[in-house]
């Protein structure tokens, strides 16, 4: 069966978060399920460069303000369809923000164009290739099922929510520019949301099935606290919603072969070497407590503001913290100030893939205190490296960490520490629990073994996607 995957990010070409990892992994893992996937991406400069010359398989001279064409190419093992449209994507900066750090004002048109071309490829086929199903990811692909519904030749669609907080909103005045029918600009059964166009909502309404990236987040999405105003829409489609857990690339994140590590990890014993290397890289003294790590975007979602207040509970017990992150200027500044104030805290602001590996390998524990977390990938990396995750009890974090509760400890099943509800005080208590567990060498070693034995690859979830694709499309 043939699937057109539509997204704005894909590893190794363009990434701002976990979405890119998932979109990049799916073609490979689905291949093993008999699913041939092609990924449609915007032609950002780095994507065009990776794609090379390729073959033009579709042209469109009226693509939201200029000409565009679709290039078919194979790069890094992925079958790509790249939408080259210099007036939309030929810019420096991140996929979404200009050099001033603000959203590009024409983001609605930029991603409407991606969805428009996705719908054309799905309905008309491109150079003889017509998919059996369209799989769209997040708001950037939200309009694709809608545009398909207005053309002949539509195919079934699956729409995956990686983060419901991003709506892809546009002013109502852009309806015509975005080729949207005003009669669908309604609250009930349309893409209107508080007076604006909401492209995520379009995806939720016009797709045949909705998935999200963990079973717990699927349940959370039906509740006002997590639904970002769209919980009613989700509840109305609860029967067509499922949560399929993300996996990680267990080759890239393999402690036995990780090229980012000088001293190979291989077993919990290797941890000591990687920890010492990490301490010296961050300029930290040796200390008796656990060395905790954070690899994260610095945004409200990730709860790391609360961690600042909980820090003394860790530092007072000889624990330390190393952070690699980037994002909100205020949070970056607050963490840099914490590093100046406390000799046990070291912070690196920036994005650094190799350092992320060294950090996960060298830390004793990884902290993920998210307010919400659709799936989360870093706790999965941590498990694989025998690095004990301390997580908030939410979304995919709840689904992937077995807490150090008395019962789970007695059964020898724990893999981490869970905090609930999430406040600075409960986080402090969680850090104290973590320090106590760390002192109990036998229990800690057992938790490390359990963590490393968890299945964090794609096997089960690839099979779940394949079942869903076949059920929705009827294709073999
Ligand atoms: P989200 O997508 O919400 O940011 P995930 O945990 O799903 O959260 O994915 C984050 C991905 O980005 C992981 O692969 C993580 O290692 C990576 N990452 C986040 N921040 C950094 C950073 N500063 N340097 C390197 N990698 C990072
Ligand atoms: C989003 C979520 C994250 C998830 C990722 C991949 O960025 O914030 O929890 O792991 O998408 O699905």
Q: Which tens digits make up the pLDDT trace of 45-90? A: 999 999 999 999 999 999 999 999 999 999 999 999 999 999 999 9
pLDDT confidence bin for 101, thresholds 50/70/90: confident
pLDDT of residue 268: 66
Q: What is the Cα gyration radius of the chain?
A: 23
- What lies within 8 Å, CB to CB, of 410 at 6+ separation is none
pLDDT confidence bin for 366, thresholds 50/70/90: very high
- What lies within 8 Å, CB to CB, of 333 at 6+ separation is none
Quick one: tokens of 277?
A: 């290397």
Mean pLDDT over each residue of the chain, to the nearest integer: 97
Q: Is the CATH number of domain 2-247+459-473 3.10.105.10? A: no
Q: In whole angstroms, give the CA distance from residue 323 to residue 338.
A: 11
pLDDT confidence bin for 274, thresholds 50/70/90: very high
**pLDDT (average), residues 432-460:** 97
Domain ranges of the chain: 2-247+459-473, 268-453
Tell me the percentage of the chain whose pLDDT exceeds 90: 96
For the Cβ of 378 lying below 6 angstroms from any atom of ligand 2, the answer is no
Q: In whole angstroms, give the CA distance from residue 335 to residue 333.
A: 5
User: What is the number of the ligand 1 atom nearest to the C-alpha of 162?
Assistant: 2
pLDDT of residue 264: 75
For the Cβ of 352 lying below 6 angstroms from any atom of ligand 1, the answer is yes
Ligand lying nearest the CA atom of residue 23: 2
Q: Which tens digits make up the pLDDT trace of 133-189? A: 999 999 999 999 999 999 999 999 999 999 999 999 999 999 999 999 999 999 999
pLDDT of residue 93: 84
Structural contact between residues 4 and 40, judged by C-beta atoms closer than 8 angstroms: yes
The per-residue DSSP string of 358-408 comes to HHHHH-SEEEE--S--SS-SHHHHHHHTT-EEEEESSHHHHHH--B--HHH
Ligand lying nearest the CA atom of residue 22: 2
For the Cβ of 156 lying below 6 angstroms from any atom of ligand 1, the answer is no
Q: Does this chain's domain 2-247+459-473 share its CATH topology with 268-453? A: yes
pLDDT confidence bin for 100, thresholds 50/70/90: confident
pLDDT confidence bin for 379, thresholds 50/70/90: very high
Q: From the CB of residue 457, how many other CB atoms can be counted at a distance below 10 Å? A: 18
Structural contact between residues 323 and 351, judged by C-beta atoms closer than 8 angstroms: no
**Fold of the CATH domain 268-453:** Rossmann fold (3.40.50)
**Lowest-confidence region among 93-102, 303-312, 358-367:** 93-102
Global confidence as pTM: 0.96
Question: Could you tell me the distance, in angstroms and rounded to a whole number, from the CA of residue 318 to the centre of ligand 2?
Answer: 32
3-state secondary structure 191-242: CEECCEEEHHHHHHHHCCEEEECCHHHHHHCCCHHHHCCCHHHHHHCHHHEE
């Amino acid at each position: 069966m043939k699937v057109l995957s539509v997204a704005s990010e894909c590893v190794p070409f363009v990434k701002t978060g976990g979405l890119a990892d998932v979109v990049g992994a799916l073609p490979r893992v689905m291949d093993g399920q008999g699913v041939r996937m092609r990924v449609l991406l915007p032609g950002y400069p780095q994507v065009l460069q990776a794609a090379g010359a390729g073959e033009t398989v579709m042209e469109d001279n009226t693509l939201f303000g200029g000409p565009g064409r679709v290039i078919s190419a194979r790069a890094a093992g992925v079958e790509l369809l790249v939408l080259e449209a210099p007036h939309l994507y030929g810019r420096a900066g991140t996929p979404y923000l200009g050099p001033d750090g603000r959203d590009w004002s024409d983001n609605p048109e930029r991603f409407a164009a991606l969805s428009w071309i996705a719908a054309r490829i799905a309905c008309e086929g491109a150079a003889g290739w017509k998919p059996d199903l369209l799989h769209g990811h997040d708001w950037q692909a939200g309009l694709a099922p809608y545009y398909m519904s207005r053309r002949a030749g539509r195919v079934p669609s699956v729409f995956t929510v990686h983060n419901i907080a991003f709506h892809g909103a546009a002013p109502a005045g852009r309806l015509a520019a975005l080729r949207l029918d005003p009669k669908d600009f309604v609250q009930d059964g349309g893409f209107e949301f508080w007076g604006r166009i909401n492209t995520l909502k379009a995806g939720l309404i016009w797709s045949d099935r909705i998935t999200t990236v963990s079973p717990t987040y699927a349940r959370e999405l039906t509740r006002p606290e997590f639904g970002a105003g769209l919980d009613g829409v989700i509840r109305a489609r609860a029967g067509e919603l499922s949560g399929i857990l993300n996996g990680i690339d267990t080759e890239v994140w393999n402690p036995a072969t990780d090229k980012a590590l000088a001293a190979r990890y291989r077993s919990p014993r290797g941890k000591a070497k990687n920890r010492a290397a990490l301490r010296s890289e961050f300029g930290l003294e040796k200390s008796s407590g656990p060395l905790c790590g954070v690899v994260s975007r610095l945004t409200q979602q990730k709860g790391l503001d609360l961690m600042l207040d909980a820090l003394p509970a860790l530092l007072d017990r000889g624990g330390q913290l190393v952070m690699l992150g980037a994002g909100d200027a205020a949070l970056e500044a607050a963490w840099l100030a914490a590093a100046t104030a406390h000799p046990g805290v070291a912070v690196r602001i920036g994005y650094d893939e190799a350092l992320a590996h060294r950090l996960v390998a060298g830390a004793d524990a990884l902290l993920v205190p998210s307010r919400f977390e659709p799936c989360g990938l870093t706790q999965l990396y941590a498990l694989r490296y025998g690095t004990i995750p301390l997580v908030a009890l939410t979304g995919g974090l709840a689904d992937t960490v077995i807490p150090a509760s008395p019962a789970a400890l007695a059964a020898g099943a724990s893999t981490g520490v869970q905090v609930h509800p999430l406040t600075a005080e409960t986080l402090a208590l969680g850090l104290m629990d973590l320090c106590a567990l760390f002192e109990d060498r036998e229990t800690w070693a057992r938790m490390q073994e359990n963590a490393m034995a968890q299945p964090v690859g794609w096997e089960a979830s690839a099979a779940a996607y394949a079942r869903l694709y076949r059920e929705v499309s009827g294709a073999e």
